[in-house]
Every structure is written in structure tokens, then in C-alpha cells.
């Protein structure tokens, strides 16, 4: 499952994302997808999602 393809990610999926403030360090944040924010079918840096706790980041791993 490719984190750069929108159709690989569903609401409720368990993912690791990189938050905007963590882009330089690469720290990953674990959570469950609440909303998909990227409208295009794919994105080279990962699909942007909102986690259930309200944090927004780009998906790096689908668990």
C-alpha cells in the first residue's frame, strides 16, 4: 500500500504521519485517519490527512 496514493488510505486507517513542524527531523506521529485533505489521486510527499485528534500531516506509512 503506497502512502502517496489517495485510494490506499481510508477513513479509520491506522497510519504514521509527519507533521509540518516535524518535516526537518522526520519524526512520525501515529494515529487514525479522520479526514483526507489531499484532493488529487496522488502526491509525491504523501497524502495529507487529519488524524482523529485533529493533527494534520502527510502519510508516510500505512499500518
pLDDT tens for residues 12-61?
Answer: 999 999 999 999 999 999 999 999 999 999 999 999 999 999 999 999 99
CA pair distance 20, 6, nearest whole angstrom: 19
Q: Please state the pTM of the whole predicted model.
A: 0.92
CA pair distance 7, 41, nearest whole angstrom: 7
pLDDT at position 5 = 95
Q: What does the pLDDT look like over 3-12, one tens digit per residue?
A: 999 999 999 9
pLDDT at position 1 = 84
Count CA within 13 A, CB hemisphere, residue 29.
Answer: 21
For residue 41, give the 3-state DSSP assignment. Answer: coil
Backbone angles phi, psi at 48, to 5 degrees: -80, 130
CA pair distance 28, 15, nearest whole angstrom: 9
Amino acid at each position: 500500500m503506497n502512502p502517496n496514493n489517495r485510494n490506499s488510505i481510508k477513513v479509520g486507517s491506522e497510519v504514521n504521519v509527519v507533521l509540518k513542524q516535524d518535516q526537518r527531523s522526520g519524526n512520525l506521529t501515529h494515529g487514525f485517519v479522520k479526514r483526507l485533505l489531499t484532493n488529487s489521486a496522488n502526491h509525491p510527499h504523501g497524502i495529507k490527512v487529519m488524524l482523529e485528534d485533529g493533527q494534520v500531516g502527510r502519510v508516510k506509512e500505512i499500518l
